[in-house]
Amino acid sequence: MESLDRYLEALKRLFEKGLIEALPSLSTVKTGEIIFHGEEPAGKIFGVKTGKVQLVRYLENGQMSHQYAIDNGSWFGESALFHGVYANSAIATEPSLIVAIPKQAFLTLLHQDPEISLIFISELTEQLHIAKNLMTLRCIRSASDRVLAYLYNLKTPGQNICVLNCPIKAIAEQICLTPEVVSRSLRKLQDDGIIQRNQRKIIFLEG
């Protein structure tokens, strides 16, 4: 993902030219703090400068459905650009520095800077790809197969290794399993000779 700085510098230039009315704002949010709720009126698009944010949906029975996580340099709440409400709720999962940009200012940036527009489209496409992969994983019924498929998605191209880039709890939330089931599945995959695990490093012994 591109750094948000490129966007912020471009927005500053537009502000100096009088093409937008306000500069982006920065705010620090605590772990567990809700940045916005789903179905809330959407007036801003947000970016994670540092930290991590989880997008979730609340089901009719009150349960929380995890969508996917947003890391450094990524945008969220982009539905504000084209719709009147946010599609998901956004919750900080660690202390985070969040950039907030008014909808109209960001749209002006996209109109004024074709290069930025292409970068933004590329980043949204990558996020969509991640979201589709997670949806596919969640349809796999066998827990160990689901965990193995998740690991393959992390696999370094051309190599037989991957590195777990987040805690077991976060992995479990992404693929809709409990942390205990994920841990058991990792042990089973290792016992079956499919993987070898050394802390966060996973070595694939097959395929």
CATH code (residue 78) = 2.60.120.10
Question: What pLDDT is recorded for position 21?
Answer: 94
Position 207 pLDDT exceeds 70? no
- pLDDT for position 24: 96
Torsion angle in degrees (nearest 10) through CA of 177, 179, 185, 188: -160
Count of structural domains within the chain: 2
111, 134, 157 - which closes a domain: 134
Judge whether residue 59 has pLDDT over 70. yes
pLDDT of residue 131: 82
Same domain, 128 and 163: no
Q: Which pLDDT tens digit goes with each residue over 148-184?
A: 999 998 887 888 999 997 889 888 988 889 999 999 9
Q: Which domain holds residue 191?
A: 142-204
- Domain boundary residue, one of 102, 118, 134: 134
pLDDT at 2 over 70: no
**Euclidean distance between CA atoms 118 and 116, whole angstroms:** 5
For residue 33, the model assigns a pLDDT of 96
Of the residues 86, 116, 134, the one at which a domain ends? 134
114-139: per-residue pLDDT in tens? 999 999 999 989 888 888 888 899 89
At 34 the three-state DSSP class reads strand
What is the total residue count of the chain?
A: 207
78 with 172, same domain: the answer is no
